[in-house]
Structure formats: C-alpha cells, structure tokens
Amino acid sequence: MRERAIDRSASLVVLVCALTLVGGYALKARCTALQWDGQQYAQLCYNDIQPLYGQRGVEDRVFPYIDGRLVDGELKGGAIEYPVLTGLFMWATGLLVSDWGTYLLISAILLAPFGLLVAYLLARMSGARAFLWSAAPAMVLYAFHNWDLLVVAAAVAGFWLWSRGRSRGAAALFGVGAAVKMFPIFFLGPLVLERWHTRGWRDALKCGAVGIGTWALINLPFVLIDRTGWWTTYEFHRLRTADFNSIWIWGLRSGESLRDALAGAGSLAFDAARLNLLTSGLTAASFLVALGVGWWRARREGTYPVVQVCGALLVAFMLWNKVHSPQYALWLLPFFVLIGIHWFWWVAYSIADLAVYIGIFRWFYDFSVSQNAATMTAAKWTLVWGVRARGLLLLLLFVAFLMAKKVRVERSAETQTTVVSQGSPSVIDAGDRGPVRG
C-alpha cells in the first residue's frame, strides 16, 4: 500500500514537471521567431543554446575541444567553455539539425527526460517535497536556458545511489557530473568523510578514487589527443572577470560607484588575477568550515551529514564564484527538496532569482537601445538588489544547510541509519523508511 502511494506521488510530481518543462520551452521558443537585436532580452526568452549553436562551431559540425584554442580571449576552433560531456552533447545534437531554431527544439526534447528523471528520483527519495523541483519558477526560466539539466540529473542520481547504500556508485556519478559541469566533484568530499567515519580511511580512499577516476577516464581521450584544446576550457575560465550576475559587480558597491565599476577603472571585479585569488581563498575557507562542521556533527551525532554539507559546499561556491550564470538556480533546487528546511527559503530564493532574471535581461535590453550602461534604470535597480538579496540568502543558506537536522531522504532497508531527535542520537533500522535525520 505504501509503495503504491509513493508511486502515485512520484507520478504526479513527474506530470507537474512535464507541464513545467512545456512552459519552459514555450518561453524560450519565443526567441526563435525574433530578430536578435535586443528583443531576445525584452521578451525574456534569451537562452545560451541558440547563440552557441553558431558561436561554438556546432553549426559547422566542428568536433569539440580538438584543435580548440583561445584567441584574443575568444574560444575558437571547437573550444567550448564547458567540460567534455556537455560539449559532446552540444555537438551530437547539432548533427541532427540545420538551424538554430530546430537546435533549440531538439535540445529541449533531449534534455527534458533528464528533468523528468530528477523529478522521479526526488519524489522517490523525498515524496511530495519534490514539487519544489517540479513546480519551481526556475524550471520555467532555466530548463532550456543552457544544458544544466544534464548535470543536475547526474548529481541527483548520485544521491539516489547513496540513499540505497551504494556510495561508490554515487561517487562514480559525481565524477560523471563533473565531466558535465564541475560542481558535483565537490560532493566527493562529504561522501569520503562519511565513509572514513563509518568504514575507515581505506574505504574512504577507494570511494574518492572511484569518483576522481571516473572523471579522469572521461577526460583522458581528449587530454591525450590535444591537451591544449582540452585545457582551453579551463584557461578561458581562469582569464574571465566577474559577470553581471555576481556579487563582485553589484554586491559590494554603492550606487555612486557603479559607473566606475562598469568602466573597469581599477575595479577588483575586472582584475582576473586578484579576483581569482580572492574567490579561491573564500571558497576554500568556506569548504573547510563546512567539512569541519560536518565532521564535528558526525562525532557528536553518530553520522556524517552528507547532504547538508554538500548543500553548504554548493551555496558557498555559488556565492563566491566570479561567474554566477542565471541557470545555477537549477543546481540548488534539489537541496531544497532533500534538506528539511522550511519552504520559506525556497520562496525567498525564487523571488530573488526572478528579480535577477528579469533585471539582467531587461537591463541588457535597455543597453541595446541606449548604449548607456551607467544609467540607473528600473531594470538595473531590480538587478542590483536582486543580486544582493540572492547573495544574502546564499550566505544564510550556508548556515541553514549546515545546521539542518532533518534530511528528507528515505534510505534503503540495507542501509543502517542514525536518527537524531532533539540532539540525542539513536540507531534504528532504516527499513523503517521514515525520514532520515542526521
């Protein structure tokens, strides 16, 4: 009976996700009929998929990474700013089409099953909380903005295997995810520390080796064929300065200094070397805090809080990174589902993210018309305060995730689990299939 209820709930979650994905495609497809003279921003339908079809050699069916180079800061000859599995997906999809409108359509058709898979797995793990994924405004805005449904599916599938007691399988999927977009590699840290706490350092090292080895094996052919072409992806990001979605442009500046920031007059935001040093330092320090708090909780409560620490690592990366692309919101959504924090956080983040989305693209439209980036328009004001609000929420979520006692993940009967109730640990049979706390 319980299994039927879970199946019904999962089916409804997947159905709602399908409807949301249709809405997401309807939004982005508006750009297929527009002149890209600023209207792609005015209509809020801008996506990366259409322009990168031509700009990254997909239209010409150039195989990615091999012979790719960075020329005057521009990616040329098949170079792509994303890790190899994303580049291969872009290239393979391009073989099926001959124009960018169809490329968006086929990309959406191929990406949609990954979004539905995420919905199904989250529903199996967390029940009705999975609607926080399926019905999220961010799904409409970003499902087909870029290729991030691929990496979210890999990460969530990794947590699914972890919930079944298959930590090495989870590590392998995190390695696969890192070959799509890099962030799942961070999740190996909490996974390894959990294994160390429960099984000892040898088992922990094996688990970490599986994840890193999976990533390395996927990348190895590209490294052997053309190491420079493969490395161009990472060199491009090393040389990038802050983007207009990040706190480094808006978060630390008053309205009076925005003109200087946009002009790049000695601004930290436009000094890649100094910015790399600062963002790397802040991210590393945040990671050490998160992993350390996780270890302290493991010693105190009897189980390492894997999901909570993974969530904290992700929000720290999103907060401090010099590039904060809009679709990163998709990365965060599964943690609102899996971690038992109040739904208020999801609402607040969705509002801030929507403000950033509307603000950035309407401001780009204003600039396309006036060619004046310094004027404080309504769109720019919305962007500035949206970025600041989102940054504050990420900082607070770092703490909220780390301190969360409840994880809305049902573990398999084979997995022994520690349940924490009001700070007192006790070991139960996870076959009870109640919400795991810890």
Per-residue pLDDT of the chain (438 residues; tens, 9 = 90+): 566 767 788 999 999 999 999 999 999 999 999 989 999 999 999 999 999 999 999 999 999 999 999 998 899 999 999 999 999 999 999 999 999 999 999 999 999 999 999 999 999 999 999 999 999 999 999 999 999 999 999 999 999 999 999 999 999 999 999 999 999 999 999 999 999 999 999 999 999 999 999 999 999 999 999 999 999 999 999 999 999 999 998 865 544 344 555 544 347 888 899 999 999 999 999 999 999 999 999 999 999 999 999 999 999 999 999 999 999 999 999 999 999 999 999 999 999 999 999 999 999 999 998 877 767 889 999 999 999 999 999 999 999 999 998 898 876 654 544 333 323 333 323 333 333 333
Sign of CA dihedral 219, 222, 225, 227: negative
Q: Letter for the amino acid at 140?
A: V
- Are 309 and 402 a contacting pair, CB within 8 Å? yes
Backbone φ, ψ for residue 136 (5° rounding): -70, 135
Contacts 24+ apart (CB under 8 A), 119-123: 119/10, 119/13, 119/14, 119/16, 119/17, 120/10, 120/13, 120/14, 121/156, 121/157, 121/159, 121/160, 122/13, 122/156, 122/334, 122/337, 122/338, 123/6, 123/9, 123/10, 123/13, 123/14
Residues composing the chain: 438
- pTM for this predicted structure: 0.91
- Are 132 and 343 a contacting pair, CB within 8 Å? yes
Q: What's the rounded Cα separation, in Å, for the pair 187 and 309?
A: 8
